Amino acid sequence: MGTSHILELNRSSRTDWRRIVEDIVRIEKKLFPKHESLAKSFEDELRKRNSGLLYMASSDDGEVIGYAMYSFPTSLSASITKLAVKENHQRRGHGEALLRAAVDKCRTRKVQSVVLHVDPLRTQALNLYEKVGFKVDGLIEGYYSPDRNAYRMILDLEF
């Protein structure tokens, strides 16, 4: 297995933007329930001024392994809006690398905290977020759907 690297997706880069977005949308459709998926609105999300996307690609063939989306809803806080790694690449540290890179991107805006939401039943994701330093701030009932809750998790940033 080859190495991988994290890149920032933007239209001005010399990457194959369309292919990368298509790869990410395929991952999105496979890993997230239809009502949580951004597959239909993905390009609209990328056009938002206060958001960004990092993706991990294989050095061998450029295959997209995973991605992290983040946004800056206020001048004081940032949000990790999506984090996903292809199933056949999970449990290899890629999710942690993407999450840490997204948090580092958020630090560049000098925000005080980074927020994310996670289903309490997704223990792998919950453990990853806690490993990186996020703490459960509260439970939001019906966040994903009437019968699916979310933990709101916060990472306080120190400067």
pTM score, two decimals?
0.85
Dump pLDDT digits (tens) for 95-143: 999 999 999 998 888 899 999 999 999 999 999 999 999 999 999 999 8
- What is the DSSP code string of 95-145? HHHHHHHHHHHHHTTT-SEEEEEE-TT-HHHHHHHHHHT-EEEEEEEEEEE
The fold adopted by the segment(s) 4-156 is Aminopeptidase (3.40.630)
Domain coordinates in residue numbering, the chain: 4-156
The closest alpha carbon to 5, from 50, 52, 60, 44, belongs to 60
pLDDT at 14: 52
pLDDT at 10: 64
